[in-house]
Amino acid sequence: MSDLSQDLLELQKRLAELTQRVYRLEREAGFVAAAKPAVDPLASPIPKEPQATSTAPPMEPTAPPSVPPPLFLASTGKINSPFVESDESLESAIGSRWFNRIGVFAILIAASLLLKFAFENNYIGPAGRVAIGLIAGIVLVGWSSRLHARGNIYFSYSVTATGVGIMYLSLWAAFQLYHLVPGGVAFLAMIIVTASATALALKQDAQIIAAVALLGGLSTPALLSTGVNRPVELFSYLFLLDAAALWLVMIRPWRRLLAACFFGTMVYYAGWHGQFFTPAQRPIALFYASVFFAMFAVLPVIKLMKPEFGLHSGWAHSKTFVAVALINPFIYFMELYAIFESEPDYQSILAWASVLLGGFYIALIRTAPAPGAPGIASEDRRLQTWLHLGIALGFLTLAIPLKLEGHWITLAWLVEAAILLQVGVRLEHTFLKYAALAALMLGIFRLLFLDEFAATRILFNARFATYLVAVIVLGLIAHQVRAEGNERHWGYVWATITLNILALMALSYEARDFFYRGYLAVNAEGQNWLDFQTYRDFAYSLVWMIYGAGLMAYGFIRQVTVLRWQALVLISVVLVKVFVYDVSQLSTGLRGLSFLALGVLLLGISYVYQKDILNLSGKRS
């Protein structure tokens, strides 16, 4: 029995040691707090035995083996399992958020059906219906506050949105459907609902509630519209709503609310202009269009008014602010066009407006803080400076086409693309680079499909100059893409292909006009047009071959594979033209010259490839 008792004591001792090791491992892994452990109940009754009496091998002082964390955490009692996540899981999101929203929606449907049944059977009159809606909305908002205080955050937001929506609809029904209250009373009540929801959003720091309040505020003029032209009341209300949104953005990082207000205001203005505007109302339209433009144009100055704003809003990387800053002047200029288009000299007015807008944005540049100003990040300062500079130069450029011919609009877009590209590169701002691409696409579209030119001189004419500007801008884009990546990037391939197509079109137009003007000059002598057409077709082949040779040479010198492939494609097109078209259409002498030039070009290219002067084969290997 003594041996059995000794073995039992030894087993208890080992169990106590293992318990202490597990506790130490859990503490080191962070599963339990690093506190002094209590006296172990298993170790207390065990007498300390001499080391010599122990028959078990000694414990080696090596590092403890890697063991998985326990399933139950000592500090919290939570299950540590791969099926339970510390963060919100999909199951939790579905159960806590989506089911509550669907449940609220189902209750609303049920309530609507029951109320509809009561309304259809005249159990409840119009005043009672409105009262029920208002009381239900107030009760829901009050209930949502209690839910929020108890920690049911997402559920409380859904209830709040439901209650606010019911109050808006009830007030609309009281005015539009049942005519229980005058428009002024309903309007004031909706303003109170909007202000109350905004205050609740600030108290709970909930952007979703602020968005609901803003949506209700923007819906108020439409809900209470009587079809009567009241621009002063409408635009004054929108101004106050936009000012409130601007204030919210200054104290909370809710910049999307300001963007929603901007687009909502523009929609109302466009709707009013299309339905009610007359030349007699030009002063009102101009005044409020200018007020709205100025309000949203000074968005970057928010940073100066409240320097800590950028600390939580990501100002320097906010696509919302950049988008509003870019779209706002464009919409304002379109509004000016719509206001003054009935005037005989509207182009001159718009030209002066472009100059004033350019000066306005240059003045905004002066508001940029000095380098190193406290609370102002250098990237914010650079963004404000370069963005305003790009817009200012765009307006100053736009003033030129308004005073001259229509193709200057194309030039303005192309120049604007170059400016935006340079600003985007300097600021490393991808959004501005895409804006430059959009401006370039507009310019190329107008150049190819809308612009009409009457060139009277070879090369020195508006058409060739416009194509040349487009080619230069595309060249800048290709250079920048290659500098940032490589020649196989899709942007570089697209830019170089478009560049070469436009250059070939410009040269071909010049060749066509040269021979056509020659035909017109001698037409009185009765010379046949077919002779000039033959020379023109030969000139096409010659120009394309020379351009292809130059492109191939440039591809070899700069070691750009994409350009060499484009040159090969162009030369192949010329090859097909010479063998298929020129053989049957050109005279014997011109056919000989075509084949001679093509042969020399092909032999030269072949010689360069065979000699491998640039060691292309070695690079490929």
How far, in Å, CA of 606 to CA of 621, rounded? 20
Domain that holds residue 569: 528-620
Sign of the torsion formed by the C-alpha atoms of 414, 420, 425 and 429: negative
Whether residue 71 is predicted with pLDDT greater than 50 in this model: the reply is no
Q: What is the pTM of this model?
A: 0.56
How far, in Å, CA of 360 to CA of 354, rounded? 10
Of the residues 55, 84, 113, which one is the last residue of a structural domain? 84
**Residue 41 binned pLDDT confidence (cut-offs 50, 70, 90):** very low
pLDDT confidence of residue 372? 57
Percent of the chain with pLDDT over 70: 73
Q: Which of these ranges, 190-199, 282-291, 416-425, has the smallest mean pLDDT?
A: 416-425
* Max CA separation in the chain (angstroms): 140
Is residue 592 in a domain?
A: yes
Whether residue 180 is predicted with pLDDT greater than 50 in this model: the reply is yes
pLDDT confidence of residue 371? 58
How far, in Å, CA of 390 to CA of 170, rounded? 48
Of the residues 49, 84, 119, which one is the last residue of a structural domain? 84
Give 530-582 pLDDT, tens digit per residue. Answer: 667 777 887 888 899 889 889 988 988 888 889 989 988 998 888 888 777 77
Is residue 386 in a domain?
A: no
- Specify the higher pLDDT residue, 90 or 436: 436
**Residue 62 binned pLDDT confidence (cut-offs 50, 70, 90):** very low
Of the residues 62, 84, 106, which one is the last residue of a structural domain? 84
How many angstroms from the chain centroid is the CA of residue 354? 26
pLDDT confidence of residue 520? 66
Among all chains, which residue has been given the structure tokens 């208890």?
A: 12
**Residue 388 binned pLDDT confidence (cut-offs 50, 70, 90):** confident
Whether residue 173 is predicted with pLDDT greater than 80 in this model: the reply is yes
Greatest mean pLDDT among 146-155, 300-309, 351-360, 555-564: 351-360
Whether residue 193 is predicted with pLDDT greater than 80 in this model: the reply is yes
**Looking at residues 479-496, what average pLDDT do you find?**
84
Among all chains, which residue has been given the structure tokens 């001189």?
A: 457
Is residue 504 in a domain?
A: no
- Specify the higher pLDDT residue, 415 or 45: 415
* Structural domain total, the chain: 2
Counting runs of H as helices and runs of E as strands, what totals does the chain give?
24, 0
For 90, the token pair is 């999909």
Whether residue 200 is predicted with pLDDT greater than 80 in this model: the reply is yes
pLDDT confidence of residue 40? 45
pLDDT confidence of residue 52? 44
> Among candidates 433, 431, 409, 400, which has minimal Cα distance to 419?
433
**Residue 69 binned pLDDT confidence (cut-offs 50, 70, 90):** very low
Q: What is the DSSP letter of 306?
A: -
Per the DSSP assignment, residues forming a β-bridge with 72 are 79
> Among candidates 321, 271, 274, which has minimal Cα distance to 300?
321
Is residue 495 in a domain?
A: no
pLDDT confidence of residue 315? 52
Whether residue 378 is predicted with pLDDT greater than 70 in this model: the reply is no
Is residue 600 in a domain?
A: yes
Among all chains, which residue has been given the structure tokens 């087993």?
A: 11
Whether residue 87 is predicted with pLDDT greater than 70 in this model: the reply is no
Q: What is the DSSP letter of 308?
A: G
For 71, the token pair is 């399933």
> Among candidates 65, 187, 73, 189, which has minimal Cα distance to 138?
189
**Residue 498 binned pLDDT confidence (cut-offs 50, 70, 90):** very high
Q: Which of these ranges, 156-170, 313-327, 391-405, has the smallest mean pLDDT?
A: 313-327
Q: At what angle do helices 407-427 and 430-449 cross, to 10 degrees?
A: 160
Question: 505 and 449 in contact (C-beta within 8 Å)?
Answer: no
Is residue 373 in a domain?
A: no
DSSP codes of every residue in 245-259: HHHHHHHSS-HHHHH
Give 440-462 pLDDT, tens digit per residue. Answer: 998 999 899 988 888 888 888 98
Give 114-159 pLDDT, tens digit per residue. Answer: 666 666 777 677 888 788 888 888 888 888 888 788 877 877 887 8
Is residue 603 in a domain?
A: yes
Please state, rounded to an integer, the average pLDDT across all residues of the chain: 77
pLDDT confidence of residue 48? 45
pLDDT confidence of residue 516? 77
Whether residue 584 is predicted with pLDDT greater than 90 in this model: the reply is no
How far, in Å, CA of 375 to CA of 304, rounded? 9
Residues 6+ apart with CB under 8 A from 532: 515, 516, 518, 519
Residue 367, helix vs strand vs coil? coil
Among all chains, which residue has been given the structure tokens 């030369």?
A: 571
Q: What is the DSSP letter of 94?
A: I
- Specify the higher pLDDT residue, 608 or 75: 608
> Among candidates 544, 528, 538, which has minimal Cα distance to 594?
538
Is residue 339 in a domain?
A: no
Per the DSSP assignment, residues forming a β-bridge with 79 are 72
Give 204-239 pLDDT, tens digit per residue. Answer: 888 888 888 888 899 889 888 888 898 999 999 999
Q: Which of these ranges, 1-15, 87-101, 134-148, 267-281, has the smallest mean pLDDT?
A: 87-101
**Looking at residues 476-494, what average pLDDT do you find?**
84
How far, in Å, CA of 234 to CA of 231, rounded? 5
Whether residue 284 is predicted with pLDDT greater than 90 in this model: the reply is yes
For 597, the token pair is 């030039």
Among all chains, which residue has been given the structure tokens 């403890």?
A: 64
Give 256-273 pLDDT, tens digit per residue. Answer: 888 899 999 999 999 999
- Specify the higher pLDDT residue, 251 or 400: 251
For 528, the token pair is 């046949």
Question: 305 and 250 in contact (C-beta within 8 Å)?
Answer: yes
Neighbours of 495 (CB within 10 A): 23
